[in-house]
Structure 1
Amino acid sequence: MHNFEERGAAAPPRSAIGAAIAEFRRTPLLALIVFVPVVILLERVSPEAHTLLFLLSVVAIVPLAALLSRATEAVAAKTGDAVGGLLNATLGNLTELVISLAALQAGQYLLVKASIAGAIVTNTLFMLGGAFLVGGLKHHLQEFNRVNARFQASLLFLATIAILVPSLISEVDRAPAAAFSQQLSLGLAILLIIVYALGMLFSLRTHRELFASSGHAEEEEKPWPLPVGTVVLIVVTLLVAMVSEIFVGSVQVAAQHLGMTPAFVGFIVVALVGGAAEMTSAFSAARANRLDLSVSIALGSAAQIALFVAPVLVLVSYFVGPAPMSLQFWPGAVAMMLVATMAATLLSNGGRAAWYAGVMALAVYAIFGLTLFLLPPGAPS
């Protein structure tokens, strides 16, 4: 009793401060949080400084994404596998979702579609390839659960086919009107969400034993208490919304000044910034010889975007956008997503990885990035 009272009286302040310090040491990216108030104040004082606002908002989103990731873990850890899986599907890519919603409301559909395609390609090539490289440089050969990897790659392939169909129809037959593309995209969005929900049921309930080894991330670090995670989740989501609005409002002018197009910004910049926290976790896990967790993060996040985030954006566009958004992407984006999915399937087929596999995946990603920067695609119809 005495020990309990003694700890209860002295522990909370010290515990809170110590936890904050430990969190900053564990995630150095959180030091960039100082740029959040800076970019918000700058937008109030000098709204015409588009290039500076763009650069600062990019930097400010990185620590917010890291905090969102930790808060999501804290909330999901207290709800059980089924609800936790749903929360991860909803909140795991919340940064990309909020940025896309801001762009959607502004009618920048090319930026939205580029960010969707870029997030899928970045997770399957850059994040997965980087994990293979970082882990392989320290460990000669690493193993992971190939059942889980194949499952996520199959979901990605299904989503890519759903995106490929509207694009192919628009190229093969010019007769269908825009209304047809919107109706088809709406039906496909609902179908993809149903498939993803059934996929969670399959992996979390009926056949959960097949995915048992796909990473227990909380073994080395305890999740935050539920009240802390909930408060952080709400506050950081509001901050992400504010910074995303600044980002979207400055991206067009800033991209022109920096020699970039909205397609390149969405495909490369938004994807890398939005996934910074997940990349840090994936790379750290690979260095700790937990490549199974890295693969689960990379491919699982890509599957969430393809089967959950993209369809949700299509549905939400009927309410917040100037017009409904379709799943019709420009041919180059479809080709890149298809190649990335095939590469992920080939890389994860054996259940083993070495550093050179990461080099090959990163090389493919570099080819895509260089192509978009030097020869950006035209806006899809």
Structure 2
Amino acid sequence: MGNSEDKPSAASSRSAGEVVADEVRRSPALALIIFVPVVILLERILPDAHTLLFLVSVVAIVPLAALLSRATEAVAAKTGDAVGGLLNATLGNLTELVISLAALQAGQHLLVKASLAGAIVTNTLFMLGGAFFLGGLKHHIQEFNRVNARFQACLLFLATIAILVPSLISEVDQPPAPSVSQDLSLGLAVLLIVVYALGMLFSLRTHRELFASVGHADEDEKPWPLGLSIILLIGVTLLVAMVSEIFVSSVQVAAEHLGMTPAFVGFIVVALVGAAAEMTTAFSAARANRLDLSVGIALGSAAQIALFVAPVLVLVSYFVGPEPMTLQFWRGAVTMMIVATIAATLLSNGGRGAWYAGVMALALYAIFAFTLFVLPPANPT
């Protein structure tokens, strides 16, 4: 009896070890996890080496984002469609959310807004364009779920309009008091969260048959044990919070030394690093002729940021940080988000993808990135 009782625990231990080993072999980027203890140690030994801390923290966030994404997917796969969809919606962009919370606590609203705008533009142009391009190089024409693409694009367009309104009222001849912008942003944040919750109800419950083909599990991937997934989810979240705090504390000085503005760092660097894990999944799915999944990841993640992450940060800012944050972005960021949303809508409207469509999206992203690097906004706040 004693031996038989020991077998399940041993098997469970072996399966957990095998899961981790298989994941490292499947994703070589996870080897970068060694930079996590390195950056924590460096922060204690060389607290004034801001440029070094910034560069190492950026590298350390990449494997943490990958582990966070995989653990979230594994837990969601075990909890059913409704709960799993809610979990993915809540934790799908947890890396960006944790980084933004750290910046919010430090009062760096410009970095927060730049990372939010950059994440939306990066997902709709760089991730979607890269999936079209890489998938198109291997497959002549690829098809995807046009209904889901239109749905996510409409949600994203609604969110960009909500962000546009507070920015517009600041440009009128007699701009209102700052308290008006705060009240407006607070009301819009609540509205966007309600709209997103109803959108999840629509896609996960009342009309989920329209979205059935999106985000199906990869048959070649072995599911993680639920216990291991939950432990990793908690542990990695704490590590992301620690590394994000180091990143935020060093980004301002490091950006000056590297000739970059905090707006460029947030718009490009933070967005690319935070979306690294999702990009890997989207690009590999496109190469496997699963462009349907790639489009769902790219547009769905952008919609999550615009309708969930940004409003949550506005609400949280009333309790964290020196002052409340508004949805008032600088004109350049608003313009880029609207153009990116329109471009993604046009590219995904036909339900088919080819490599040159990816080239056009990537070129538009490069135009935005180069412009922001060479000519940062004169009045970003």
Specify the TM-score bucket, using the shorter chain as the normaliser: over 0.9
1:316-335 equivalences in 2 (<5 Å)? 316-335=316-335
Letter in structure 2 aligned against 1:258: L
C-alpha offsets along residues 258-290 of structure 1, whole Å, 9 cap, x if unaligned? 000000000000000000000000000000000
Q: Greater CA deviation, 324-333 or 19-28?
A: 19-28
1:70 corresponds to which residue? 70
Instruction: Please say if residues 142 and 354 of structure 2, whose CA atoms lie closer than 8 Å, have aligned partners that are also in contact.
Output: yes
Tell me the residue number matched to 1:241: 241
* Contact residue 110 and residue 379 of structure 1 kept, 8 A: no
Match of 2:265 in 1: 265
Distance 1:162 1:64, change over 3 A: same
Number of equivalences: 379
TM-score under structure 1 normalisation? 0.97
Shift of 1:31: 0.6
Deviation at 1:74, TM superposition (A): 1.5
Q: How many angstroms does 1:89 deviate by?
A: 1.3
Give the aligned partner of residue 147 of structure 2: 147
Aligned to 1:172, the other structure's residue is in SS state coil
State, as a whole percentage, how many aligned pairs show the same letter.
83
Counterpart in the other structure of 1:348 = 348
User: What stretches of structure 1 of length at least 5 have no aligned partner?
Assistant: none
Q: Distance in 2 between matches of 1:200 and 1:218?
A: 23
| 1:89 to 1:379, Cα distance in 2 relative to 1, 3 A | farther
- 1:230 & 1:13 partners in 2: Cα distance? 15
Q: 1:145-170 deviations in whole A, cap 9, x for unaligned?
A: 01000000000000000000011111
Report matched runs for 1:209-248 at 5 Å.
209-248=209-248
* Counterpart position of 2:89: 89
What is the CA distance between 1:6 and its match in structure 2?
Answer: 11
Deviation track 1:61-87 (CA, whole Å, cap 9, x = no partner) reads: 000000000111122112222221211
Offset at residue 239 of structure 1 (A): 0.3
TM-score (norm 2): 0.97
Question: Match of 1:288, as an amino acid?
Answer: A
Q: Partners in 2 of 1:29 and 1:365 — Cα distance?
A: 24
Q: Secondary structure at the match of 2:170?
A: helix
Equivalent residue number for residue 171 of structure 2: 171
Q: For 2:28 and 2:345, how far apart are their aligned partners in 1?
A: 32
Does residue 1:17 correspond to 2:20, yes or no? Answer: no
* Counterpart contact for 2:57–2:243, Cα < 8 Å: yes
Aligned-pair Cα RMSD in Å: 1.5
Q: How does 1:280-359 map to 2 (within 5 A)?
A: 280-359=280-359
What does residue 192 of structure 1 align with?
A: 192
Residue identity matched to 1:248: V
**1:134 maps to what in 2?**
134
* Pair 1:183–1:13, CA change in 2 (3 A): closer
Are the aligned partners of 1:328 and 1:380 in contact in 2 as well (CA < 8 Å)? no
**Does the 8 A contact of 1:70 with 1:223 survive in 2?**
no
The CA deviation at 1:47 is 0.3
- What amino acid sits opposite 1:68 in the alignment? L
Unaligned runs of 5+ in 2: none
* Alpha-carbon spacing, 1:191–1:13, altered in 2? closer, same or farther (3 Å): closer
Is 1:99 the counterpart of 2:99? The answer is: yes
Mapped partners of 1:231, 1:15: distance in 2: 15
Deviation of 1:58 after TM superposition, in Å, equals 0.1
Give the secondary-structure state (helix, strand or coil) at the position aligned to 1:324. coil
Instruction: Give the residue type in structure 2 aligned to 1:44.
Output: R
Q: Is the 8 A contact 2:19 2:224 kept in 1?
A: no
Number of the residue aligned with 1:368? 368
1:18 Cα shift? 2.5
Name the CA distance, whole Å, in 2 between partners of 1:79 and 1:173: 53
CA deviations 1:350-376 (Å, max 9, x no partner) are 000000000000000000000000001
Q: Which moved more, 1:84-93 or 1:52-61?
A: 84-93
> How far, CA to CA, are the matches of 1:195 and 1:351 in structure 2?
25
CA contact (8 A) 1:286 1:294 kept: yes
Q: Give the whole-Å Cα distance in 2 for the aligned partners of 1:186 and 1:223.
A: 40
- Relative distance call for 1:188 and 1:173 in structure 2 (3 A) is farther
Query: Could you say which residue in structure 2 is the equivalent of 1:28?
Result: 28
SS, match of residue 231 in structure 1: helix
CA distance, structure 2, for counterparts of residue 249 and residue 62 of structure 1: 18
Cα deviation per residue 1:59-118 (whole Å; 9 max; x = unaligned)?
A: 000000000001111221122222212111111000000000000000000000000000
Distance change (3 Å), C-alpha of 1:201 and 1:318 = same
Q: Match of 1:320, SS?
A: coil
